[in-house]
Structure 1
Amino acid sequence: MTAPIFDLTAKLKAKADITSEDTLAMRRLAWPDGLIDPAEADAIFDLNTSVKGKSRDWVDFFVEAMTVYLVEQQEPKGYIDEAKASWLMAKIDSDGRVDSLGELELLVKLLETAINVPDTLKSYALSQIEAIVLTGTGPTRDGGSLDAGSVSPAEAKLLRRLLFAQGGDGPALVSRAEADMLFRLKDATLAATNAPEWSTLFVQAVGNHLMAHGDYHPLDRERAVELNTFMSDTRSSVGGFFGGIAGSNVAPRFSTVFGRKGVPRDRDADVAADRAIVADEKSWLTSRLEADHALDSLEQALLEFIASESGAPAL
């Protein structure tokens, strides 16, 4: 980290306030080339943690800079590796809470931006958003607010973004872990005054978990690294390149593009199969519905939604 950045960081910590002008000064010092080095990332994150008075421009800069640093500044681009995921979680945990203005938005933005992230970060983001809905207070980046013990419109919006983020636990699909979280939130906030968006989200998201069909499955980072290595190798001839692929772990990824194609799938049949509630899903749903020995309004709405979408009772 250069001396001018160190000096500016110290000045802003002492002032305990970051204005739009301060943000522009930091952007010019730390990011003139569009790259953030590890020392600069540490300084920016620590400044965000230390200073409570922050302008909207600072929050935008913080989220943008950290997203570039974590997602774009290593190969293959679009993936967060284990080291950076661990760094991020340690930084967020350093003061024992998630900053609703910056860190919360960063977590959601990363999962929206990244192709895939480590499972540890997916689980961490899920646990953080659950804790925030139940206990968080304060403003969010988009102008909404966190309300402890209830689901506000801003919280419902954040939940929806997280649940359907491409780098989340189930990209474009709601995973079992996410559906379990939704039931826990529902039970914890049932008597509260919740936003209308919450009941819609609960029904649609749990219904998605039980009935949605998805063809998209992102490569994990290890596979992406292998593929990127092959595509970047300019030492071999075309023949040698394809010969190398044939003996590698990435060969199946190319089978439908070069050479033999797999057996065509009946997509309509696949969609219909996923829409049906199978034994495992029925067992899971029954256990969730019977957990509190009563059928509440959101659970009733869920059952009605499933029956409408599938043409058959859920249980």
Structure 2
Amino acid sequence: MVRSASIIQRIQAVSRRSREDMRQVAQEMCSRGPQSDAEAQALFDFNARMRGADPDWDSRFVRVMARYVLARDAANGALTPANLDWLQERVAIGDRLRNRNLAGLFMRLLRKASGTPDGFGLIVLSHLCDQMILDNQADATSVGNVAETLLLSGPEHAPWVSRAEAAILFHTQESIEGSENDPSWNFLFARAIGNHLVARAHPNPHTERHALNRKHWLDPNDPNPGKFVGCLALGFDKGSWFEQMGREAERASLARRTASLAAKSKPAQPPPRTGWWRKSPPPNPVTTASNTLVDFLNREAPGLLAGLVVAAR
């Protein structure tokens, strides 16, 4: 306890000195890991004062703090609800994280924890996408983190991209449209939203858990994830397709007929690339990510987009 107090006092003593002095003391604590909540708080406080890029510090901080959180109060490698609450009280202001490297901490917890509270993957996804919005772009590293989070999330009984996850991705896309985003964002957005829409429009997605598993759809090495779905699109006129998209049974019926006709015909021209998921036209031209989504749906599930346009009105 004396040593713990000594290190905390040293951090407090150098708080008004140079960044390098502070960093040296904090790294000493990182080398052995915090031994108490007080030491962990001292590291959080130091991290909050860090400004600018420092990959070495980020890596050390994320590694030791994840280890501490997963061992705190005899957690034995799991992220307990109590420890998640404890962490969020110290690193978040409302729904926003205090520092960008804290998203990396949440990512490491998702990777390393033997168990996590329900909805933790959604929390991580929200933090990562918030950071992309703040950066006003989706760079390759950020997109990779979002993809990994989606792959690590999702319950076994419903392995497709959920409505809540899709809402976060849509909000992110609308916030960064027009930015110089990495091409991998277009791929991920189209695959993830396509997976969600097929599952949501399907009359009984639980019978197609393997075909609709997000792992197939988000696999960058698979050029045609729709092959897992097989001939689903040929049965739009069978079953209650599109009924989960809205409350009006008549509209769902019309959507089924429209989708069935579109799936069995070859349009003379490709369908217009519009923001069909919106109730009103978008203020800006549709972006590459949206174009990629439309192309993906037309290729992997012919007719589905035509039905979605009707069902979403």
Would the aligned equivalents of 2:159 and 2:212 in 1 still touch at CA under 8 Å?
no
Query: In 2, Cα distance between the equivalents of 1:44 and 1:117?
Result: 23
| Count of aligned residue pairs for this structure pair | 243
Are 1:56 and 2:52 counterparts? Answer: no
Counterparts of residues 83-232 of structure 1 (less than 5 Å): 83-93=82-92, 97-100=97-100, 102-119=101-118, 121-135=120-134, 147-148=135-136, 150-166=137-153, 173-211=160-198
Which whole-Å CA distance do the structure 2 matches of 1:269 and 1:171 have between them? 10
Q: Distance in 2 between matches of 1:193 and 1:24?
A: 36
The CA RMSD measured in Å over matched residues stands at 3.9
Q: Find the aligned partners of 1:54 and 1:22 in 2 and give their Cα distance.
A: 19
Structure 2 residue 108 is matched with structure 1 residue 80? no
**C-alpha displacement of 1:74:** 5.2
SS in 1 for 2:178: coil
1:44: how far off? 1.6
Change (3 A) 1:270 1:97: closer
Matched residue, 1:4: 6
Cα distance in 1, alignment partners of residues 140 and 291 from structure 2: 22
**Mapped contact 2:190–2:292 kept (Cα < 8 A):** yes
> Secondary structure of 1:15's match?
coil
2:17 alignment counterpart? 15
State which drifts further: 305-314 or 174-183.
305-314
Tell me which of 8, 26, 29 is aligned to 1:26.
29
TM-score by length of 2: 0.62
The farther-off stretch of 286-295 and 154-163 is: 286-295
1:279 matched to 2:242? The reply is yes
SS at match of 2:180: coil
Per the alignment, in what secondary structure is the counterpart of residue 58 of structure 1?
helix
- Give TM-score scaled by structure 1 length: 0.62
* Uncovered stretches (5+) of structure 1, i.e. residues with no partner: 136-146, 213-266
Q: Could you report, residue by residue, the CA deviation over 1:39-65 in whole angstroms, capped at 9, with x for unpaired residues? A: 222222122113436843322221011
The alpha-carbon distance between structure 1 residues 7 and 18, as it changes in their structure 2 partners (threshold 3 A), is same
What one-letter code is carried by the residue in structure 2 that aligns with 1:204?
R
Using the TM superposition, give the Cα deviation of residue 268 of structure 1 relative to its aligned residue in structure 2, in angstroms. 9.4
Shift of residue 271 of structure 1?
3.0
1:169-205 residue CA offsets vs partner (Å, 9 max, x unmatched) = 9997432211111111222222223221211110112
What's the CA shift for 1:292? Answer: 3.9
- For 1:291, what is the secondary structure of its paired residue? coil
Q: After TM superposition, give the deviation of residue 132 of structure 1 in Å.
A: 1.9
Shift of 1:269: 5.8
Taking every aligned residue pair, what percent have the same amino acid on both sides? 23
Query: Quick one: distance in 2 between partners of 1:169 and 1:132?
Result: 28
Residue 43 of structure 2 corresponds to 44
Q: Is the 8 A contact 1:98 1:104 kept in 2?
A: no
Specify whether residues 171 and 93 from structure 1 end up closer, same or farther in structure 2 by C-alpha distance, changes over 3 A only.
farther
